[in-house]
């Protein structure tokens, strides 16, 4: 009975936390430098007012962006 309540609680909380937002992840590399990652490059999403910087590996991530088509 304990396991049933635990499973129900975990399922309910995961459904309650789910969001309608989307996430976008990527990596920016410099092809002129043999594909080396671009450090601290600014990345913006037009129409979403979202911006971030790449990390030391050239990776970036946007969370909780409304689903749609963006540039």
Average pLDDT for residues 32-61, to the nearest whole number? 91
Stronger pLDDT, 47 or 55, i.e. the higher one: 55
Global pTM reads 0.64
Q: Which among 68, 69, 57 has a CA at the least distance from the CA of 29? A: 57
Question: pLDDT band at 28, cuts 50/70/90?
Answer: very high
Average pLDDT over residues 33-60: 91
pLDDT at residue 13 is higher than 70: no
The whole-angstrom separation of Cα 17 and Cα 56 is 31
Q: How much of the chain is in helix, strand and coil states, percent to nearest 5?
A: 25, 35, 40
Distance CA 45, CA 40 (A): 16
């Amino acid at each position: 009975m304990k396991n049933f309540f635990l499973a129900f609680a975990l399922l309910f909380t995961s459904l309650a936390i789910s969001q309608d937002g989307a996430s976008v992840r990527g990596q920016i590399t410099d092809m002129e430098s043999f594909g080396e990652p671009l450090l601290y490059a600014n990345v913006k999403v037009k129409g979403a007012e979202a911006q971030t910087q790449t990390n030391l590996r050239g990776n970036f991530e946007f969370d909780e962006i409304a689903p749609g088509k963006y540039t």
